[in-house]
Structure 1
């Protein structure tokens, strides 16, 4: 192994591969007044078929077509709303425009797309659009961060927790010297720097498909060390083939060629060829994998180790770099894909191991990871760690690793905009249950206390301030949305009255008795007048107008932009929809969250 090749074995995934959005930034994006939602305008879900679109469009035309209204004011309102309905139907009913809208929203319809032949299927178009968006995101990230660095400071703290005090002997019948008094922090002076590693690199664009990286690294262990300079050329040969060439300039010199080839959307093959000297064949590593399930990929890796060919390479019987084969899989888990897992089984001439890890993303920008391995070289190890996103560009993490015979190690990590500071501290060279417990329980308790007593209140205060700021900033837009919703309710009042009469005469008719939408805490209070509560609106007329053939359907997530008159009465607050309705001459009530979909009547009332 190259002595200047360093790999950090922290508990958290590399931050360069993380695309988290800060909570306040996400809140601002969510609360930003959005353009009209075409699915909400048409009162259909995103999975609606062409036939469902036609039925909903015809129903809306009965209420919003200008010719249906005699009143001049109502006719003027209907003309404006009907134009929005027509625009939405024109986009959603066109398969190609629908794919663009689903991927990029209304802004995507204004762009010029070059995605190959015109007669592609919606699935092929979706893949092309996602590819272009991914390339653009990668390019924007590369333009923002071109400098990367890492400092790894390893500390040996075994003498702090288990100090060795040499005995004091008397000589020539003279009493021994009295030991010097030591302060409470004297034990900290027994810590020693075991290793210092530093590297830094700069990246530049040489061409549309080519980038160059120039960097250097140095390492110091036990007062001895060295450094090297590394140059890298990365080139994208085609959308399926990517190559990278690395070379070290100083001794020990080496040349590494990496290729990544995507044979299809479900399979890949990666190769690494390392040449350290012209007097021996290069070490070859081949990894091939395939998607096994929707969110799981399996792979197999073969590494040749040092080998000889017809005398080229000499005697490699004493070489420590032997061949091995590894079989593993990795993927994401959970309904919201917040978990990442991987496991690997490796068999080799010298080293064999089984390793597994699981990383779960919690709320408030926190990740927790547990990992374990059993190896013929490293023995048995287990680790647990977490990290927290302090700001939009800064993360702090801590991990604890213990094993037999590796001992107990705690590691701290701070990363910001591609710059990392990693500090592993060896607490004990042997397994020590007391240190393991203290090193896990105490930091976890401190982290929980800091999170609950400091970070969480601070974050809640920031969120409340941000909500107030956004309400003031978008007050005019919100007032306009409210006025539009009230105008829409005027147009559907006649339709709602007609449907109420028709449904009342049916045996299985559906009549909306009362429907309120707004702030959760105000709605759950059964006492008092809910209509007068702050942040609550009456949507009885709206829902009755949406009844079709004794069924009411509110697509998930579109209630705030519905063409019939929904609007957000309390921006940034949790909302619920409370509906009292009469079906089969019996009174029912259902309360659902703002993000849920409601279809009534049905036995469960709520889906």
Structure 2
């Protein structure tokens, strides 16, 4: 659940979970579930006035869930919009005049139109900030500065001279005009050693089809210019893009041309053949192979001012959201080796660092932070020669800083923010959660007769008997089977779970269990589990499942059998953990 959304902070009813039927349930399955609950909750089944009042509440909820899911039109609205859709004015006409398939299609069309309007309103800003830092004085101190005062000389000379050598800023925004036309306004500004330059670009792109588009761009800065670009899919395996540019300078018009032909070699590999003509004459070829866990890049460039060969390999550790990268590059300028890593630090942010060693570049440390569509780059020049010390520090210091910042600042901040959002969610749903809890306790009270009957029937035929079941915040200890930590945020659900048993079988479908009759959410916004201790053919077993995980008992595979002394020990733990939130029950 994304707690950033205020709309999603509101707890909604899940009719499928309440009836314990799958989302694709047939009309017969819904009818059977309705009849089963009606036998427990119909007011005529109860004589006691207090129970009769509670039964009316539960029966009305059962009836509402049945009325929605048994009506194809209302069910289609509920599947698309949830309970809010059932309360929206105007759907009454729709449900009388359209089929469920048409309702879903219309909703999808409305959603697409809303997305299109949102796209037109969005400017899609993107930017890039690069700040180059010269820190070579850390490892290659300058010795050509002299001071008359020896004391001042010692102090000042001991402080490394670190300076910003250059800065570059670029920003762009999109202005969607129609579904096929988009204008983009972008600007660039750079400065190096006190000398600066900049430019502004305005482009218009028109999409002819999914196979082709064309773009015209006007630029101003170091002389006005105009360019034309295009893209075309030639066949199933080939596509092309290219264009031309005309730069107007005091010396005259400088034309340029660029063209790239790409070929899909196989499912994972693409080859590129590129040419750039004009002031610079460059011819290059590139092959990229990318799989789920690996990425290979091989490039050759021939031209002015440099020619080179590049080989790059990236390893993707998907489970840790981490990428490890190494590259070798050699050419007329010299040779370098680059290695580094990129880590996803949040939903929208990536942090990367790499170390570059080579001749004549020396040693550089590159740090890049990507936040949504904004990129911040910090290339730090550490040494003009390849030396062990800068290579060591460039490799180790970023790792140490990352661990310190993550453990000391990021994780505590994220934990605090999550706690605030959970607390806000609980406050927003406080009254509804109290109502759900009272409803669950009332449902369990109404289930008592059914519980006793089913339990006696299962005991007599040595079938499926639920010894104890708890639902809520349960932390399993993976180091030792059977051990787990039980918080106060749990609820005893032995009665409702036993009432779900039919013909010595228990089936709970893949929905949140907090909406089942007799259940409620004791730990809103946190991970919850259902732990069941049961006997089947007089043999004790236990099972623990996640909130949305389906349950089918008895297990067809070989289950873990719980020793009798552990059953008694677990019963003692359950009884001791009983609080106002926990309806703890002794074993019978």
TM (norm. structure 2) is 0.73
* Cα distance in structure 1, aligned partners of 2:207 and 2:446: 57
Which deviates more, 133-142 or 280-289?
133-142
What is the aligned counterpart of 2:4 among 3, 6, 25? 25
Deviation at 1:43, TM superposition (A): 1.9
1:569 aligns with 2:546: no
Alignment of 1:502-517 (within 5 A): 502-507=457-462, 509-517=463-471
Q: Is the partner of 1:304 in helix, strand or coil?
A: strand
CA 1:155–1:496 in structure 2 vs 1: closer, same or farther (change >3 Å)? same
* Cα distance in structure 1, aligned partners of 2:547 and 2:488: 17
CA 1:464–1:254 in structure 2 vs 1: closer, same or farther (change >3 Å)? same
* Residue pair 1:258, 1:270 contacting (<8 A) in 2 also: no
CA 1:492–1:147 in structure 2 vs 1: closer, same or farther (change >3 Å)? same
CA 1:134–1:438 in structure 2 vs 1: closer, same or farther (change >3 Å)? farther
1:384 aligns with 2:341: yes
Q: Is the partner of 2:467 in helix, strand or coil?
A: strand
Alignment of 1:275-286 (within 5 A): 275-277=244-246, 282-286=257-261
Deviation at 1:496, TM superposition (A): 3.1
What is the aligned counterpart of 1:232 among 192, 195, 203? 203
Gapped runs of 5+ residues in structure 2? Answer: 47-51, 247-252, 561-588
Q: How many residues align?
A: 524
1:446 aligns with 2:401: yes
* Residue pair 1:356, 1:373 contacting (<8 A) in 2 also: yes
Q: Is the partner of 1:322 in helix, strand or coil?
A: strand
Deviation at 1:412, TM superposition (A): 3.9
Q: Is the partner of 2:356 in helix, strand or coil?
A: strand
Deviation at 1:478, TM superposition (A): 0.6
Residue in structure 1 matched with residue 132 of structure 2 by the alignment: 154
1:62 aligns with 2:36: yes
Q: For each residue in 1:317-363, what CA deviation from the matched residue of structure 2 results, as whole angstroms up to 9, or x when unmatched?
A: xx6401414232254x6xxxxxxx53323345554433233466788
Structure scoring higher RCO (CA < 8 A, sep ≥ 6) equals 1
Deviation at 1:213, TM superposition (A): 1.8
Deviation at 1:514, TM superposition (A): 1.6
Residue in structure 2 matched with residue 80 of structure 1 by the alignment: 61
* Cα distance in structure 1, aligned partners of 2:350 and 2:470: 44
Residue in structure 1 matched with residue 175 of structure 2 by the alignment: 204
* Cα distance in structure 1, aligned partners of 2:100 and 2:511: 30
Deviation at 1:537, TM superposition (A): 1.7
Q: For each residue in 1:416-463, what CA deviation from the matched residue of structure 2 results, as whole angstroms up to 9, or x when unmatched?
A: 675554321111234333222212322322332232233323433343
Alignment of 1:483-498 (within 5 A): 483-498=438-453
* Cα distance in structure 2, aligned partners of 1:537 and 1:510: 21
CA 1:298–1:586 in structure 2 vs 1: closer, same or farther (change >3 Å)? same
Q: For each residue in 1:246-293, what CA deviation from the matched residue of structure 2 results, as whole angstroms up to 9, or x when unmatched?
A: 332443735142437699xxx78764313134887732113455994x
What is the aligned counterpart of 1:468 among 402, 406, 423? 423
What is the aligned counterpart of 2:296 among 336, 339, 343? 343
1:272 aligns with 2:241: yes
CA 1:344–1:419 in structure 2 vs 1: closer, same or farther (change >3 Å)? closer
* Cα distance in structure 2, aligned partners of 1:346 and 1:120: 54
* Cα distance in structure 2, aligned partners of 1:37 and 1:157: 60
Q: Is the partner of 1:182 in helix, strand or coil?
A: helix
* Residue pair 1:61, 1:82 contacting (<8 A) in 2 also: no
Residue in structure 2 matched with residue 40 of structure 1 by the alignment: 17
Alignment of 1:206-605 (within 5 A): 206-222=177-193, 224=195, 226-238=197-209, 243-250=214-221, 251=223, 253-259=225-231, 271-277=240-246, 282-287=257-262, 289=264, 292=267, 298-306=269-277, 320-329=281-290, 331=292, 342-347=295-300, 349=302, 350-358=307-315, 368-377=322-331, 379-386=336-343, 388-389=345-346, 397=351, 399-405=353-359, 406-413=361-368, 420-507=375-462, 509-520=463-474, 534-562=488-516, 564-602=517-555, 603-605=557-559
* Cα distance in structure 1, aligned partners of 2:520 and 2:544: 18
* Cα distance in structure 2, aligned partners of 1:63 and 1:565: 11
* Residue pair 2:141, 2:160 contacting (<8 A) in 1 also: no
* Residue pair 1:288, 1:299 contacting (<8 A) in 2 also: yes
Deviation at 1:223, TM superposition (A): 5.2
* Residue pair 1:242, 1:260 contacting (<8 A) in 2 also: yes
Residue in structure 2 matched with residue 171 of structure 1 by the alignment: none
* Cα distance in structure 2, aligned partners of 1:139 and 1:161: 56
Q: For each residue in 1:130-183, what CA deviation from the matched residue of structure 2 results, as whole angstroms up to 9, or x when unmatched?
A: 898688568647745555443322122223321242499xxxxxxx98967435
Gapped runs of 5+ residues in structure 1? Answer: 1-20, 169-175, 307-312, 334-340
Q: Is the partner of 2:471 in helix, strand or coil?
A: strand
